[in-house]
């Protein structure tokens, strides 16, 4: 499927950073212009040292690659701590690195539970930097641990991203992007656009389209041809998502479609993609990250109201706007409090473009040149180039 090549391009990401690493030497000694002729100055970018890379269970290989490729390209030694729920692909990655001749000790994989393996790694005095991807709650703990040794951190955390749909869209195209933005890989994406904010004048028709598109999603064993939605990752996650849905119902929301186990799948952690309406901004379903196939919906009447609803979250990872009015899209792009904005789409991402969030979605950027900077420290070098003595202690001083 074409989508895999824009999303899961592990090899492409390694190639991209290998190319950037080649250019790194040329970029060394980047001159700094100074206001005094007797000095010249330049900047050296150097590997930050030993880096701890702590990653989540979703997209386990891709999330590891987003850190391992730039860290190695920058010249760091890395310790990768994958999620205890999804370690095997990362062990395979290490095997591939060994096969292609990476020297022993440059990439190390540390498997184990968060509190047993991740926490000691984060607070280890010989770790010079922590690059973390995971939940905001764990991110906060990592930051606390790093603060004890004044260690730099970059944090890629959760989200509750909005998708704003205006009245001038093609309803089918918009419906497809809306359900893809939330249900793709079961909503187990940090940037899932899981809050739909739709113009009230098209809401009724748009809901019909969404339900039609959603009912056409093939839910099955992922190895089955045509599967577009598989099981969620674990029993714990399955129960957590069902609890979100039941809480939404008890708080007065309406389940427009889904909300349960698909009838044809009696076993496994399968859930119907779910759309929830009659949502208020104080409800849990509006405020908290589900990390499952659950879309919640609100309507708006003015652009200002749409922006206010979009930014009504502690998170700030992604945001999407669907409209044929590109000036309006630009206004929303500027107004969104988010690190990633999609216009007339949701979710595509490329390893050349920066990735990361604001607010409680974290800080720092992965991917692109920004991803390399995560693993480099900047050294200023200033040289005295005049033949004259410095002359500070001579009177009158030249300064």
CB atoms within 10 A of CB 295: 28
Residue 251 a catalytic site member: no
What is the total count of residues that contact ligand NAD (CB under 6 A)?
Answer: 30
d(CA 341, CA 321): 8
| Stretch of 54-62, 197-205, 265-273, 324-332 contacting ligand NAD, by CB under 6 A | 54-62
d(CA 98, CA 102): 5
Nearer to ligand NAD, 142 or 175 (CB): 142
Site string for ligand LWGJIB7O, 2-31 (x = CB under 6 A): -----x------------------------
Q: Which residues touch 136 (CB under 8 Å, ≥6 apart)?
A: 157, 158, 289, 315, 360, 361, 362
Least Cβ distance, residue 59 to ligand LWGJIB7O (angstroms): 5
Least Cβ distance, residue 375 to ligand NAD (angstroms): 16
Interaction of residue 158 with ligand NAD, rule CB under 6 A = yes
Could you tell me if 275 and 240 are in contact, meaning their C-beta atoms sit under 8 angstroms apart?
no
Interaction of residue 58 with ligand NAD, rule CB under 6 A = yes
Nearer to ligand LWGJIB7O, 186 or 277 (CB): 186
* Nearest residue to the partner ligand LWGJIB7O, using Cβ: 190
Interaction of residue 135 with ligand NAD, rule CB under 6 A = yes
Interaction of residue 83 with ligand NAD, rule CB under 6 A = yes
Could you tell me if 230 and 220 are in contact, meaning their C-beta atoms sit under 8 angstroms apart?
yes
Beta-bridge partners for 41: 32, 382
Closest CA to 227 of 262, 277, 278: 262
d(CA 77, CA 69): 11
d(CA 246, CA 240): 10
| Stretch of 136-144, 187-195, 246-254, 374-382 contacting ligand LWGJIB7O, by CB under 6 A | 187-195
Report the residue from 9, 46, 84, 288 that binds ligand NAD according to the rule CB under 6 A.
84
Interaction of residue 79 with ligand NAD, rule CB under 6 A = no
Name the active-site residue from 116, 156, 288, 303.
156
Interaction of residue 81 with ligand NAD, rule CB under 6 A = yes
Q: Which residues touch 183 (CB under 8 Å, ≥6 apart)?
A: 214, 217, 229, 273, 293, 295
Interaction of residue 68 with ligand NAD, rule CB under 6 A = no
Residue 349's binding partner out of ligand NAD, ligand LWGJIB7O, none, with CB under 5 to 8 Å set by partner kind: ligand LWGJIB7O
Beta strands 358-359 and 315-316: pairing type? antiparallel
Q: How far is CA 148 from CA 49, 178, 216, 369, in A?
A: 18, 43, 52, 29
Site string for ligand LWGJIB7O, 338-357 (x = CB under 6 A): -----------x--------
Nearer to ligand LWGJIB7O, 9 or 308 (CB): 9
Interaction of residue 59 with ligand LWGJIB7O, rule CB under 6 A = yes
CB atoms within 10 A of CB 394: 9
Report the residue from 64, 119, 169, 307 that binds ligand NAD according to the rule CB under 6 A.
119
Nearer to ligand LWGJIB7O, 160 or 209 (CB): 160
HEC string of 120-148 equals HHHCCCCCCEEEEECCHHHHHHHHHHHHH
Q: Which residues touch 389 (CB under 8 Å, ≥6 apart)?
A: none
Q: Which residues bind ligand NAD (CB under 6 A)?
A: 54-58, 63, 81-84, 114-115, 118-119, 122, 133-135, 138, 141-142, 156-159, 190, 289, 291, 317, 357
Catalytic residue list:
156
Q: Which residues bind ligand LWGJIB7O (CB under 6 A)?
A: 7, 58-59, 189-191, 349
């Amino acid at each position: 499927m074409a989508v895999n090549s824009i999303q899961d391009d592990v090899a492409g990401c390694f190639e991209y950073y290998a190319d950037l690493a080649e250019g790194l030497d040329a970029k060394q000694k980047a001159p700094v212009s100074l206001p005094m002729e007797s000095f010249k100055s330049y900047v050296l970018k150097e590997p930050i040292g030993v880096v701890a890379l702590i990653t989540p269970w979703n997209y386990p290989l891709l999330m590891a690659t987003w850190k391992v490729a730039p860290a190695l390209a920058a010249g760091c030694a890395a310790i990768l701590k994958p999620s205890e729920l999804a370690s095997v692909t990362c062990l395979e990655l290490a095997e591939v690195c060994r096969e292609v001749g990476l020297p022993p000790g440059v990439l190390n994989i540390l498997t184990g539970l968060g509190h047993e393996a991740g926490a000691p790694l984060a607070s280890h005095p010989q770790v010079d930097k922590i690059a973390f991807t995971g939940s905001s709650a764990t991110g906060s703990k990592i930051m606390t641990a790093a603060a004890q040794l004044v260690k730099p951190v970059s944090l890629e955390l959760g989200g509750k991203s909005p998708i704003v749909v205006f009245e001038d869209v093609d309803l089918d195209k918009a419906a497809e992007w809306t359900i893809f933005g939330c249900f793709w890989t079961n909503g187990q994406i940090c940037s899932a656009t899981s809050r739909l904010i739709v113009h009230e004048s098209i809401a009724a028709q748009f809901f019909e389209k969404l339900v039609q598109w959603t009912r056409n999603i093939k839910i099955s064993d992922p190895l089955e041809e045509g599967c577009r939605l598989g099981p969620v990752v674990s029993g714990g996650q399955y129960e957590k998502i069902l609890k979100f849905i039941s809480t939404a119902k008890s708080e007065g929301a309406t389940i427009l479609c889904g909300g349960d186990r698909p009838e044809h799948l009696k076993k496994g952690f399968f859930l119907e993609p779910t759309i929830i309406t009659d949502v208020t901004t104080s409800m849990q379903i509006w405020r908290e990250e589900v990390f499952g196939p659950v879309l919640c919906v609100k309507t708006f009447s003015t652009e200002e109201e749409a922006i206010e609803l979009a930014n009504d979250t502690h998170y700030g990872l992604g945001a999407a706007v669907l409209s044929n009015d590109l000036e309006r899209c630009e206004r929303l792009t500027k107004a969104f409090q988010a690190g990633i904005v999609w216009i007339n789409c949701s979710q595509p991402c490329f390893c050349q473009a920066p990735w990361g969030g604001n607010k409680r979605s974290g800080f720092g950027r992965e991917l692109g040149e920004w991803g390399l900077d995560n693993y480099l420290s900047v050294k200023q070098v200033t040289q005295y180039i005049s033949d004259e003595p410095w002359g500070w202690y001579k009177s009158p001083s030249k300064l």
